[in-house]
Structure 1
Amino acid sequence: MRIVVVGLGVLGASAARALARAGASVTVLERTGPLAGTTGTTFAWVNSHGKDPRSYHDLNVAGMEEHAALARSGKGQLAWFHRTGNLEWAEDEAGAERLARSVARLRDRDYPVEWITPRAARDLVPDLRVPDGVRDIAYYPSEGYVLPPLLLAALWGEARDAGAELRCPAEVVGITEGRGGVRVALADGDELRADAVVLATGRWSEAVTALAGRRVPMASPDVAGSATVGFLGWTTPVAARIDRVLTTPRLNVRPDGGGRLVVQGLDLDAHADPAERPDPDGEHARTLLARLADLIEGTRGARLESLRVGQRSLPADGHPVCGFLGDSSRVYVMVTHSGITLGPLLGKLAAREVVDGRPSELLADFRPQRWEGVDPAELPPLRPARFAGQQ
């Protein structure tokens, strides 16, 4: 089969890898460059922490296991997946009740979680400063984080090894289905013919699916303070002992290699605006760094090398969209907010569906056909993540 993949983020690279390894002739079209979309600006927390309904939770659990399997299979690759666990706590009564409900629900689903003491938490993260009054900390040992550039390098490298080719820059301006396959028109006037097209275009999915005469409604990634936007800061190298994810009431933190940390304050996201480049020495940066110093010993004096506004890929109802557009089995779309957690799995499942025609039961609730006859304007607005564990 000749297959065109549009987009070279984690989903596109994963699909290209799986398709090429299945024997397809794969060409990837990327408009700007690898990591140009959400894959390059993400907290990259691998989890199934607050994922509802149950089918979404189960899909993310399978995604976590696919990460582990992929990491075990890699040879001679830099470590991109770190399954070192996540710590979370609450600092007020309302937060404690939310966390207790979440832990109970996850335990009912047999998701690994346990209550530990602050002392046990400091054994896991020696430089952790647990606020006074916190007695119970939720520990999720099966969660972890990804270093996105290294994950993309692993996926795309194996795709190239299997014969996949990249055209970049290449902007798609038309997708036309016919009896003999699909024609993909490019902005430079060139045209590619393929048996199938896989769209992995993230927050641009609504516009790109419209080129194929269909529409996957997306929450706008450009609305300031909305569910789709948020600040992410990358620190200078710090002399602190932390190798795990922390999701706390005032700050989320994960390592990013080389002594650097990624920091996120969900309450600050109300001020995030994609139209304004945040100042890495400005007010929000100072707030993030002050919270970091309160949370982790050895981080006082750190600076932010970068402060960015991330733009999430959110379908209009908040849940993934994975499957063929229409009945022709020619144009396949996959887009999800949980792109890092689900990327390796969705690429593998998409390849099976495209090449072998084997539908995945895991994706049954996430088909694009659910939008037929639905007016997205009638859906309730997506709620921004403002509390630890929500995103």
Structure 2
Amino acid sequence: MGANTSSVVVVGGGIMGASIAWHLARLGARVTVLEQGSRAASGVTRWSYGWVGTASASASDNPAAFSSTLQAIADFNRLALDLGPLPIAARGAMVWLDNDAQTAALIDQQRSAGVNLQPLDAQQISALEPCMITPPALAAWAPDDFAVEPVALAKMLLSGAEQAGAEVLYGRRVDGIETHNGRVTAARCATQTYAADTVVLANAGAAIGLAAGVGLPLPLLTRPAVLMRFAAPAGVVRHLVYGNGLELRPALEGGVACAEEAPAEGEAGLPALVERTTKAIRQMFIGATALSLRAVSIGHRPMTPEGKPVMGYLAGVEGVYALVAHPGIVLAPHLGRLAAEEIVRTRR
């Protein structure tokens, strides 16, 4: 069995692993990223929706998480300055709830939290979404929210990491973590080990098994969600739209992306869910009769019962660091920066 020497091994080439690898490499760390898929972001990130913003969230349900999300969103501006134009699929989000009173309460609540949210009447909604057949009487408009294509962003970060000196390897499934005298020594794949004094578990729910292999429990669970991608005429949906039981946005490559809760039947329930969703979109937008499914899958979102990120060294084995959070797309630029700074500071 061969061995490669690397100071930091990042397990996972999704959005979280890509972010911490990029930040680590820019801080001068020697980094190797091990991604089990044949390409970047082939796991949970591939089926992430990519809404960056708070317009559909309740500030009062979890004020601490809401505040953290606002802080994290600010990091996207820094990311764009360092990486260049980000893969933004849509700017601006339109949200309406079950009735006007609920929508008005959402606007008031978010404004009180410092979010730029504006009321729109039916005429203003039609101006922004001219293909909408029956606009609601009231919607909340979040001009600062946007949709980013998760896979494209992960690729940008990994490319930037490579330019900063990191090595990114695909088809490398990490089977275990090797230790000696209470500290990490390597990440082990089927035919090769990758020596390291720090191993970062940034591989979403799969981090649970790797941590357990060295006796370290991770307080994570996974919750399923569905992402559908449809081919559709250009301009049918122009912004992030959350209403009438649908969560839609344009896709950067064309067409429409739609997020849904996973059916109780799991994979077996996907055909019926696609049929219902397709019908609902066609009833909502002019031109959507040409809608056709491109892809659908259930992604398993990693999260803690309290909704807090897992970020930090795990007690029990020196040098094992975990970085797993939901929503990963929103939090990755911010948490990747903080985690990289912590790791470099600790190593020094």
Same fold by TM-score greater than 0.5: yes
SS of the residue corresponding to residue 84 of structure 1 reads strand
Question: Out of 320, 324, 329, which is 1:335 matched to?
Answer: 324
Q: Aligned partners of 2:215, 2:306: CA distance in 1, in Å?
A: 21
Question: Out of 31, 46, 62, which is 2:52 matched to?
Answer: 46
Q: Aligned partners of 2:68, 2:265: CA distance in 1, in Å?
A: 30
Counterpart of 1:123 in structure 2 is 127
* Structure with greater strand percent: 2
Q: Aligned partners of 1:20, 1:114: CA distance in 2, in Å?
A: 40
Counterpart of 1:302 in structure 2 is 291
Counterpart of 1:389 in structure 2 is none
Structure 1 residue identity aligned to 2:249: R
Matches within 5 A, 1:175-324: 175-178=177-180, 182-219=184-221, 221=222, 228-266=223-261, 269-271=262-264, 273-274=266-267, 276=268, 278=270, 282-324=271-313
Structure 2 residue identity aligned to 1:66: D
Answering whether residue 37 of structure 2 is matched by residue 32 of structure 1, we say yes
SS of the residue corresponding to residue 141 of structure 1 reads strand
Number of residue pairs matched by the alignment: 338
CA shift for structure 1 position 233: 1.4
CA shift for structure 1 position 300: 1.2
Matches within 5 A, 1:53-202: 53-75=62-84, 79-82=86-89, 84-92=91-99, 96-131=100-135, 134-178=136-180, 182-202=184-204
Question: Could you list the runs of 5+ residues in structure 2 that have no partner in the other structure?
Answer: 1-5
Question: Could you list the runs of 5+ residues in structure 1 that have no partner in the other structure?
Answer: 222-227, 359-391
Aligned-pair Cα RMSD in Å: 2.4
Residue 40 and residue 19 in structure 1: after superposition, are their counterparts in 2 closer, same or farther (change >3 A)? same
Q: Percent of aligned positions with the same letter in both sequences?
A: 27
Residue range with higher mean Cα deviation, 175-184 or 4-13: 175-184
CA shift for structure 1 position 205: 2.3
Query: Is the 2:175–2:190 Cα contact (8 Å) retained in structure 1?
Result: no
CA shift for structure 1 position 68: 2.5
CA shift for structure 1 position 59: 1.9
Residue 237 and residue 258 in structure 1: after superposition, are their counterparts in 2 closer, same or farther (change >3 A)? farther
SS of the residue corresponding to residue 211 of structure 2 reads helix
Q: Aligned partners of 2:306, 2:253: CA distance in 1, in Å?
A: 37
Q: Larger relative contact order (C-alpha < 8 A, sep ≥ 6)? A: 2
SS of the residue corresponding to residue 17 of structure 1 reads helix
SS of the residue corresponding to residue 254 of structure 1 reads strand
Structure 1 residue identity aligned to 2:296: L
